[in-house]
Structure 1
Amino acid sequence: MTPSDAVIPPTLLSAVVAIGRQAGLSVSAWFSGTGLAPVLLDDADVRVSLDQARTVLRRAVAALPDRPLGLEVGARDALLSFGFVGVAMRTSATVGDAFRVIDELHRASGSLADFIAEGVGGDEIELYLRERWPDPALLPFLAEEAFASITAFLRSVLGETWAPNRIFLSYRSPAHAARYQRFFRCPVHFGADADRFVISSDVLRSPIPTHHEPTLRTALAVCRSLIAPTRIRPGVVAAVEALVNAHLHRPLSMTEIAEEMHISERTLRRQLAEAGDNFGAIRDRVRERHATALLRRSTLAISAVAAEVGFRDGREFRRAYRRWTGRTPLAVRTSGDGYPATEGYPATGT
């Protein structure tokens, strides 16, 4: 995978955008030229690329220079910070089990950095933060968010008085360093040789009162599906797919899509060509995917399915669907498995 592949859930971006809006900032400017738009972040199927995420986060950090933005994001409840990973953590049997969930599945939470645990078996455990693609401008945000998220989770299990033993950060002390002390309530050392979070190893044996095995199994399955490399797409392709999907009732033109993405139509066309795709093909496959799902899983009349995917004329939809799939909508509706039950279905089903 490369930094341009759209594989990251936009959890972090959603949280940062919410904070920016609360501060009265024009967050749309953060997305200019990225091929993303704030409205896309609420779509559960949307994935962003590392390049897109880093660009938006750099702009957010620059727009809020006096705030510990990562600390504010990470200090929220684990279910907000980690998403389905947080559900898996909160329903694990022990803190050690929850940490194993983080180790395996943290990317499903939209994280942009990784953890390496050392010292397991001794009196203390050190969690090292590793950026996937080093970016000095973002390191403070990433470290704040990661360490604050773990602290907030452990306090939800062990009580609000819990604190890590020590924290080491490789960057210089920021203007808001006092906020670190107030939140973490432990020694925080800046200018260290690595970014690490030190806790007592006996924490791992602590039971989690919200443990629930059926919910844990479900959450783990969802998290694994979120990071499964089934359909890796360049970020610009994923963004166009999401915008087309969000406006199926009133299809947007390529010009309107480009405006939503804060780029010119010419730039969008070029970026799609570089990704080996084009707008018409993306629009067709999003429409086909949604139409097929409705034909298989709903009782909507075929004319209503046509309207759901942006066709005013049912005959035009049937022609398009047959061009996309080689089958008629009625054949897909009748077969139950997406394949014609018999040959010779007419192209005029309603």
Structure 2
Amino acid sequence: MSIGSTPTWDHPRGPAATRILVDLGIEHGLSTTECLSGTGLRLADLARPDTVVEGGQELAIARNLLSRIGDQPGLGVAAGMRYTVGTLGVWGYAMLSSASVREAIRLGVRYAELSFAFIRPILEPSGRDLAVIFDDTDIPADVRGFFVERELAKIAVLTPLAVGAHRGLRVEAAFTGARAAALRARLPGVDLRTGTERHRIVFAAALLDQSLPQADSTTALLLEEQCTRMLEARRARRGVSARVRALILADIDQAPSAADIAVRLHIDERTLRRHLHSEGASFRELVDEVRATLAADLLTLDRLTLTEIARRLGYHDAAGFSRAHRRWTGHAPRSQP
């Protein structure tokens, strides 16, 4: 049996989105350590354009923000409004170089794994118009509103920069109440409809065949080829071990077992262990790797007790965590080696 589907957001991405989240956290009074807690990332990593961030790491940063700031309606919009075309890298420039809005949309969806999105974009004809559905079913519930806000705001802000106007673009959000109000307040001038059946961006037929100001067929071809190479390179490093590591990281406080992860991957536990063995890894080694990395971060936070750290890492008590820490490092937590 082959490995089944994994969350659509579980793909590697560049560091730009994590930088935005950290900057947002700092502006709300968080320290860099608090923002990056549990990710194994350092601020210096986010300054390197070649850093590869796993989806689970970005997810952890978002959870750090929401746990400390609160899931405030409009926080995701604030993150989305910080994006620029440069933030999107080659993927963004490839879309800008496309011949028309229609081609840019198709290219964007085709290479969506190169973006920082947690939603899954789906093209849907809507009469003569063209809609991109923002499928959020794979996003964990505790961060779903935040990430959907971010993606809607990102598209609403960047599309007019590429096309030259808001005209012909409609944003539909299933949000009601405070989230809907936050979107309306922060996106003036956008044709925004809330309380709809689904989250969608709708491009009017008159806009679809409009030429883009920076359209260049030669440049577009070169950039699409580069997108293809980047996508292939990132997929090549997505072995079973990487998928398992990301799933462990996402639910580490629940202490997921090999059987739990196998269910998430739609395979049986024996097949999972065989795949890991073929890659020179074991499930216990991956759990230890994730826990040891997170522990190194959490132990720098003096406000957390050993019991609290143990609980965050999926241990029943501090004693179990201390024994594991001695096994990893040779010394007790918070003692000098």
Q: 1:9 aligns with which of 9, 14, 18?
A: 14
Tell me by how many angstroms 1:161 deviates: 4.5
Q: TM-score, normalised by structure 1?
A: 0.60
Determine if contact 2:176/2:194 at 8 Å carries over to the other structure.
Answer: no
Deviations 1:70-122 (A, max 9, x none): 222323454144222111111111111110111111211222222112125x2
Give the counterpart letter for 1:217 in structure 2: L
- How far apart in 1 are the matches of 2:84 and 2:102? 16
RMSD across aligned positions (CA): 3.5
Q: 2:102 aligns with which of 86, 96, 110?
A: 96
Matches within 5 A, 1:79-90: 79-90=85-96
Determine if contact 1:128/1:197 at 8 Å carries over to the other structure.
Answer: yes
Tell me by how many angstroms 1:221 deviates: 2.8
- How far apart in 2 are the matches of 1:215 and 1:180? 36
- How far apart in 1 are the matches of 2:86 and 2:65? 19
- How far apart in 2 are the matches of 1:96 and 1:164? 12
- How far apart in 2 are the matches of 1:7 and 1:183? 29
The size of the alignment, in residue pairs, is 249
Q: 1:158 aligns with which of 156, 163, 174?
A: 163
In the alignment, is residue 75 of structure 1 matched against residue 81 of structure 2?
yes
Q: Which residue is equivalent to 1:194? A: 198
Q: Which residue is equivalent to 2:123? A: 117
- How far apart in 2 are the matches of 1:261 and 1:10? 21
Q: Which moved more, 1:156-165 or 1:201-210?
A: 156-165
Q: Which moved more, 1:96-105 or 1:228-237?
A: 228-237
How high is the sequence identity, in percent, across the aligned residues? 21
Distance 1:176 1:30, change over 3 A: farther
- How far apart in 1 are the matches of 2:121 and 2:25? 27
Q: Which residue is equivalent to 2:143? A: 138
Tell me by how many angstroms 1:188 deviates: 2.4
Q: 2:64 aligns with which of 51, 59, 62?
A: 59
In the alignment, is residue 213 of structure 1 matched against residue 248 of structure 2?
no
Structure 1, unaligned stretches of length 5 or more? Answer: 239-253, 268-277, 280-350
Determine if contact 1:49/1:235 at 8 Å carries over to the other structure.
Answer: no
- How far apart in 2 are the matches of 1:58 and 1:77? 20
Distance 1:182 1:72, change over 3 A: closer
Q: Which residue is equivalent to 1:26? A: 31
Determine if contact 1:78/1:153 at 8 Å carries over to the other structure.
Answer: yes
Determine if contact 2:12/2:53 at 8 Å carries over to the other structure.
Answer: yes
- How far apart in 2 are the matches of 1:176 and 1:145? 13
Q: Which residue is equivalent to 1:180? A: 184
In the alignment, is residue 231 of structure 1 matched against residue 266 of structure 2?
no
Deviations 1:204-253 (A, max 9, x none): 11110111233323322332233222223638989xxxxxxxxxxxxxxx
- How far apart in 2 are the matches of 1:60 and 1:132? 21
Tell me by how many angstroms 1:17 deviates: 1.2
Determine if contact 2:169/2:203 at 8 Å carries over to the other structure.
Answer: yes
Determine if contact 1:258/1:264 at 8 Å carries over to the other structure.
Answer: no
Please give the secondary structure, in 2, of the residue aligned with 1:117. strand
Q: Which residue is equivalent to 1:147? A: 152
Structure 2, unaligned stretches of length 5 or more? Answer: 247-288, 301-309, 314-327, 330-337
Give the counterpart letter for 1:89 in structure 2: M
